[in-house]
Chains A and B, each alone.
Chain A
Amino acid sequence: MWYEIFKFELQYRRKRMATWLYFFVMVLIGLLTTSTDVIQVGGVSNQLKENSPYTIAYIMLILTSFFGTFMASAIMGVAIVRDFEHKTEGMFFTKPISKFDYIFGRFLGSFVILIFVLSGIIFGMMLGSHWPGITEDFWPARDPEKLQAFSLYNYLHPFLVFVIPNAFITGALFFMVGGLSRRMVFIYLQAMLFLILQGAADVLLGDLDKKEIAAWVDPIGGRAFNFFTEYWTISEKNTINVPMAGAVLVNRLIWIGIGIIAFLATLRFFSFNQVINPIIRRKPGLDTEFIKNSRIALPKVTLNFGFSAQLLELRRMTIFYFKNIIRDIPFIGIVATGLLLFIFNAALMDSFDDTKLIPTTYSMINLIQGAFGIFFFIITIMYAGELIWKERDVRINLIHDAMPVPTALPMIAKFLAMLVTYVGIVLVLILMAIITQAAKGYFNFEIGVYFSSLFGDTIHGMLLWLLMAFFVQIMVNNKIAGHAVMIVIFIAMAVISNLGVEHSLLLFNSANMGSYSDMNKYGHFLSPFSWLSTYWTAFTFLLFGLAVLFAVRGTEELFKFRLRIGKYRLTL
């Protein structure tokens, strides 16, 4: 019976967009890491090859311990919680299946999917180092001096020794938390918590004299890897794969054992009861105050559809959507991760080599734009979709669409809600940057520079992407496809500029303020920036206008009718 459930899990996940998205993300991460200098192992010398077994294992470990943990939570965590989310638990729990069949089938199915998703890193890394046509200008090719002959086994070995066991360990833990808590919230939070605890443990273990014990207690095996290879020569690092032996073996055995215990605990403590007694009992939200005046007539109200009413509606809707965004748990997760990354980077700012960096404002801005940039982009794409689909997702759209509100108004409110969100995040980032500066003993806070760079460049750029995303979501009229189109546009912009299309009037949001420097401020970048940003702002406003014209309002989704309704809107 468990085999049937296992098979169902695979079928279900195969049809989920998320599965393919996660896989694609892993490929992309592997590709971007190995084809750029984001992570450098072994300094600038050419002796340790970029595709040596040691380097491959090291990079794979770093990437999967960060991104893999999130995916383990997303994939393994929901395996059971999903039934409670979709309210299908009653259907499954009343079937004549044993607890073991249900749990084991779901676990194994999700685990296979997780391994598949993580295997994307292998393809990405291989592609990054050995891009076909490596000497072409198409992709920033790696220096052949830094590479050695390709070997598939060098990618598979660390995947078997580290990535798969780690997937099992984290997966079993997250599966347990999801299954026993039955709450989606934990799925979003546990990966973050795991990484924070692991980071904290790492710092504590770093001071431990017994390095072998430290190597044992790291769940991800990074310390075991370092301990094992501590005294390796460069030629060993270039040729030998870290075997399942010594500290690595002990570490793996300990943690796989803990993973098994977590799985057994899930089996033991999971209950097929639909309702479990909550640990914290909440007071029922009932009001005892009761006014019985069903006899009185409905009061007459004055209706106002003028400009002042629209201002009020705009304000109320902006606040409404803003609260919707910031109370969304994935949003909290994304922002927290971004801030965490910023803190890590800020703390590690000058620990890479012996040179002390002065935490000037421009270096802090670079740090913010570097560490948080991708998160701004994720938030923009994701919440453009969420906001455009908000009413339809909660299925209040027919009520909402019949309200006497101009079609543009909710969309402007959604735009403003995102603007407020960006401003909030940037203010927090600036505050954290200033605290970092102060902590490092640098007190020349250039608030104006922070504001002009982050508001004028970062936020402004994000707003352009946001309007583009609104337009795409409305035209494509499918949330997931809209996300995909946005990612394609984003990547296409990078690719066509690599292909030699460099004209700023063709590359979306090409306005670049340039780096602020203490020597010549924004230099000669500022004037083209303002012209280009005016150009692109006008362009996105045009897109927004089209989006308002063709926005779906009601049940008509065929373009024929949206065109007709658009004409009515124009003649108003």
Chain B
Amino acid sequence: MQLTITNLNKTYANGVQALKDVNLTIEQGMFGLLGPNGAGKSSLMRTISTLQEPDTGEISLGDINVLTQKEEVRKVLGYLPQEFGVYPKIDAETLLDHLAVLKGITNRKERKEVVETLLQKTNLWQARKKNLGGYSGGMKQRFGIAQALLANPKLIIVDEPTAGLDPAERNRFLNLLSELGENTIVILSTHIVDDVKELCKDMAIINRGQVMYKGSPDDAINEIGGKVWKKRITKAELEDYKSNFNVISDRMVAGEPVIHILADSQPDGGFASIEPNLEDVYFSKILAA
């Protein structure tokens, strides 16, 4: 099964163009969607998840036309929205069971088993009888993850799943995702580059509704190999460098800015060549827009 997105466009009523001629082909496995806040990641994911209509364009999942055969998509979909609420006066186990019924798991024994396993895997087992209103942000996020994984979905769309998770829970979740197997399409959006680096064989970087890069993280890194240079400068010089060089990132190291620039050859002796990482790719693609 393959997810194909063709010429997808969407402009909101307030004039914001959320998707500009998006074309993507997503194979089975983990697919990372990287981009800054407001890049259009959520708009794209909601459209694939049957919750939003594009102005023009097509999406197909295998033989299914995603835009018209929404019901068929929902049968194989596991979706975690970026923001969601829960019924505050219901405990996690009850709500997860209820959602499992809606997902079509009608066999009581199977349902019990999958609900319990997911509660354990998301580390909510001990709090399963607690009302969701009393959950912390991270616990609620894990509940969202649990419900997205009910019913062995073939298409998993998780919108910023690691937001609000502590490092241990994040690792637990990434392990869980990687367990899901090869015959599932997992689309994971994030603005954390490491999430993609650790998990995805394939990725896309989008900014302001446009696909800036599509391919594997390794190819992306190779593409700018030997072109990234690093220099330690003073705060006063920062503006100068920004106007004279293609600065892709600046960050403070021990109180002094360290800049990364993109250039085909060494600009001057002060710059040292470095091995680029995915973050350099990310910034170079975002800034290219």
Contacts and interface: CB of A to CB of B under 8 A. Distances in A.
A298 B114 contact: yes
Interface string B61-87: 000000110110011010111011111
Nearest to A395: B85
A287 B83 CA distance: 28
A304 B106 CA distance: 6
B151 A301 contact: yes
A308 B105 CA distance: 11
A299 B84 contact: no
A273 interface: no
A91 interface: no
Contacts of A403: 74, 99, 102-103
B104 A399 contact: no
Nearest to B75: A404
Contacts of B103: 303, 403-404
A406 B101 contact: no
Interface stretch (A37-45, A153-161, A560-568): A560-568
B93 to A, nearest CB: 10
Contact of A405 (B102, B126, B129): B102
B127 A287 contact: yes
A299 B102 contact: no
B244 interface: no
A387 to B, nearest CB: 13
Given A299-B113, A308-B106, A286 B130 contact: yes
Of the candidates A301, A309, A561, the one having the most CB atoms from chain B within 10 angstroms of its own CB is A301
B237 interface: no
A399 B84 contact: yes
Q: Describe A's contact surface by its main secondary structure.
A: loop
Given A302-B107, A402-B49, A555-B51, A572 B117 contact: no
Size class of the contact patch on chain B:
35 or more
Interface in A262-306: 285-294, 296-305
Contacts of A400: 102
A32 to B, nearest CB: 37
Contact of A402 (B79, B114, B118, B180): B79
A324 to B, nearest CB: 8
A290 B125 contact: yes
A298 B71 contact: no
A445 interface: no
A398 B51 contact: yes
B129 A285 contact: yes
B101 A298 contact: no
A399 B179 contact: no
Interface of B: 13, 46, 49-53, 67-68, 70-71, 74-75, 77, 79-81, 83-89, 91, 98-99, 101-107, 110-111, 113-114, 117-118, 120-121, 123, 125-131, 134, 144, 147, 149, 151-152, 172, 179-180
30 contacts: A285-B127, A285-B131, A291-B120, A291-B125, A298-B118, A298-B152, A298-B180, A299-B117, A301-B110, A302-B107, A303-B75, A304-B105, A305-B75, A309-B106, A312-B106, A316-B101, A317-B102, A395-B85, A396-B86, A399-B80, A399-B81, A403-B99, A404-B71, A404-B102, A554-B46, A554-B51, A554-B53, A555-B51, A556-B52, A564-B53
List the 8 closest A-B pairs by CB distance, nearest first. A395-B85, A554-B51, A404-B74, A398-B81, A285-B130, A303-B104, A403-B102, A402-B79
